[in-house]
């Protein structure tokens, strides 16, 4: 018997976490946190697991919406065994420590959330079992009722360093959890590798860009050309450019793109400012360059000239020194470096803010990207209106599959049944509608948080 229980959201992006009970073996697929929420509300519904067997956690990659609640889970279930790729384990060691610092700074005794310590993270990371891509592992939980084990394989998902789609096989059934997946090349990473995955019975398919017209997304080259032109216009007028980007993945990819354009004489040579966790993760990209799939194995991020944003004490420096500032958070969340810089940038008419990644509609980044020069906006529900004096421009450098590629994934793995996840209602609706139009005999089902469903009875 195989049952499925969503513990996190099923109709938005945040706190990805799915529970599988496979013949008495309890498995979690990802263990994310919702960065838009606070306290207990940001976590998956772990209370639903109290009367269920939980033996293993399989992590698809180390973005916080997929791994951020792992320390809280281990507080409740200290004996759970965790698997990820070796690269995701290395990244978790950096990002979870950083999150601990953020949580400690914003601790609220009223939210009933027991903040984890750095010592707990050290123990957790050491306990994660790193696996290679396409390595097959066999799992049996304490209450496993079959002589046959559950077989697990990780496949390169092409999203960020270490990202994986997870194939689960048991008793002739095959389940594929895509995680965050990308079929297109970026500046460093290359497309997902699904070779070897034959027909699956059940597909858990992400839908992040399901509602986005791919003509708007463009390509990495076309968006790179557009960003280069816009940046040159600002820099040549003496202005500076702020690019808020996720510290993991987007920072490394954009840093590579910017430097490559400068070296080819396409982008005005100027100082590039980075800092914090993004630099630590870049070092991991460098360390793993010969053992992971990527465009250019000899490309070394630490050799790109970079200045430290945290050494700039007075932001007026950027008035006299046109620069590109590439810092997190990508969605301009309050309290982050990019948010602090934004409050200065908004008042500078010759400056620009370039959005380059996914923006949740509840975040300051989304509000900014949907504004224009001279508009008045509230960056948060509690902030005062501010006039937007700088240029605001939106670019698309997707690390997720575009919607046509989501249909291609369906064609490749030919599932009998699909659950659409990790997207808003419009994205899920577009992908579901087009799958039904293009493929016969595929069943599409909906999931709701906290509701256990029986996938197969035998």
Q: Indicate the Cα dihedral angle 44, 46, 52, 55, nearest 10°.
A: 80
Q: In what order do the strands lie in the sheet with 150-156?
A: 136-139, 150-156, 164-170, 173-177, 202-206, 417-421, 443-445
Q: Which of 99, 7, 4 is nearest to 450 (CA)?
A: 7
Alpha carbon distance 85, 89 (integer Å):
6
Q: Among all chains, which residue has been given the structure tokens 């597909």?
A: 203
Q: CA-to-CA distance for 38 and 292, rounded, in angstroms?
A: 35
Identify the structural domains of the chain with CATH numbers, from first to last: 2-212+399-456 (3.60.15.10), 219-394 (3.40.50.10890)
Phi, psi of 274 (to 5 degrees): -135, -175
3-state secondary structure (DSSP) of residue 36: coil
- Assigned token pair, 151: 């077989």
pLDDT along the chain (458 residues), means of 10: 91 90 98 86 93 97 94 94 98 90 64 77 94 97 96 98 98 97 97 94 96 90 97 98 96 98 98 95 97 95 97 96 96 92 97 92 93 94 93 95 97 96 93 95 89 83
At 192, give phi and psi (nearest 5°).
Answer: -60, 150
Helix (H, G, I), strand (E, B) or coil at 107: coil
pLDDT for 218? 87
The reported pLDDT for the residue numbered 101 is: 75
| Rounded CA separation 71/116 (Å) | 7
Name, in order, each residue with C-beta under 8 angstroms of 85's C-beta and a sequence gap of 6 or more: 61, 130, 131, 132, 133, 154, 162, 163, 164
pLDDT for 290: 96
Angle of helix 250-263 relative to helix 277-287, nearest 10 degrees, comes to 80
Distance from C-alpha of 231 to C-alpha of 20, rounded to nearest angstrom: 47
**Type and span of the H or E element at 437:** helix 425-438
Quick one: DSSP state of residue 149? P
Q: Specify the DSSP class assigned to residue 353.
A: E
Residues 6+ apart with CB under 8 A from 222: none
Distances (CA, A) of 265 to 9, 102, 209: 45, 39, 33
Q: What pTM did the predictor assign?
A: 0.95
């Amino acid at each position: 018997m195989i049952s499925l229980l969503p513990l996190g959201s099923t109709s938005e992006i945040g706190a990805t976490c799915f529970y599988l009970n496979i013949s008495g073996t309890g498995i979690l697929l990802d263990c994310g946190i919702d960065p838009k929420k606070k306290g207990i509300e940001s976590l998956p519904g772990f209370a639903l697991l109290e009367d269920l067997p939980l033996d293993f956690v399989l992590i698809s990659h180390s973005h916080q919406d997929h791994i951020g609640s792992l320390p809280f889970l281990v507080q409740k279930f200290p004996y759970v065994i965790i698997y990820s790729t070796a690269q995701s384990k290395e990244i978790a060691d950096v990002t979870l420590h950083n999150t601990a610092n953020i949580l400690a700074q914003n601790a609220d005794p009223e939210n009933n959330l027991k903040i984890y310590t750095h010592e707990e993270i050290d123990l957790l990371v050491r306990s994660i079992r790193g696996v290679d891509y396409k390595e097959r592992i066999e799992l049996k939980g304490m209450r496993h009722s079959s002589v046959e084990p559950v077989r697990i394989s990780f496949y390169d998902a092409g999203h960020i360093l270490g990202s994986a789609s997870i194939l689960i096989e048991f008793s002739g059934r095959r389940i594929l959890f895509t995680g965050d997946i990308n079929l297109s090349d970026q500046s460093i990473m290359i497309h997902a590798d699904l070779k070897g995955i034959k027909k699956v019975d059940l597909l858990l398919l992400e839908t992040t860009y399901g509602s986005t017209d791919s003509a708007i997304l463009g390509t990495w080259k076309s968006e790179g050309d557009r960003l280069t032109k816009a940046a040159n216009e600002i820099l040549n007028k003496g202005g500076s450019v702020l690019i808020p980007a996720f510290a993991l993945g987007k920072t490394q990819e954009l840093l590579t793109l910017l430097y490559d354009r400068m070296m080819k004489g396409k982008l005005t040579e100027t100082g590039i400012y980075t800092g914090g966790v993004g630099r630590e993760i870049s070092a991991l990209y460098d360390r793993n360059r010969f053992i992971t799939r990527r465009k250019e194995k000899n490309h070394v991020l630490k050799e790109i000239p970079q200045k430290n944003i945290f050494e700039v004490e007075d932001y007026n420096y950027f008035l006299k020194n046109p620069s590109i500032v590439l810092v997190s958070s990508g969605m301009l969340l309050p309290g982050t470096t990019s948010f602090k810089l934004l409050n200065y940038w908004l008042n500078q008419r010759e400056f620009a803010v370039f959005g380059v990644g996914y923006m949740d509609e509840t975040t300051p980044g989304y509000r900014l990207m949907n504004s224009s020069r001279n508009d008045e906006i509230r960056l948060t529900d509690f902030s005062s209106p501010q006039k937007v004096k700088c240029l605001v421009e939106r670019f698309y450098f997707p690390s997720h599959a575009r919607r046509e590629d989501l249909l291609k994934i369906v064609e490749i793995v030919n599932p009998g049944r699909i659950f659409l996840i990790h997207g808003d209602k419009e994205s899920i609706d577009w992908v579901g509608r087009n799958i039904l139009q293009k493929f016969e005999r595929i069943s599409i089902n909906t999931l709701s948080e906290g509701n256990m469903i029986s996938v197969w009875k035998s």
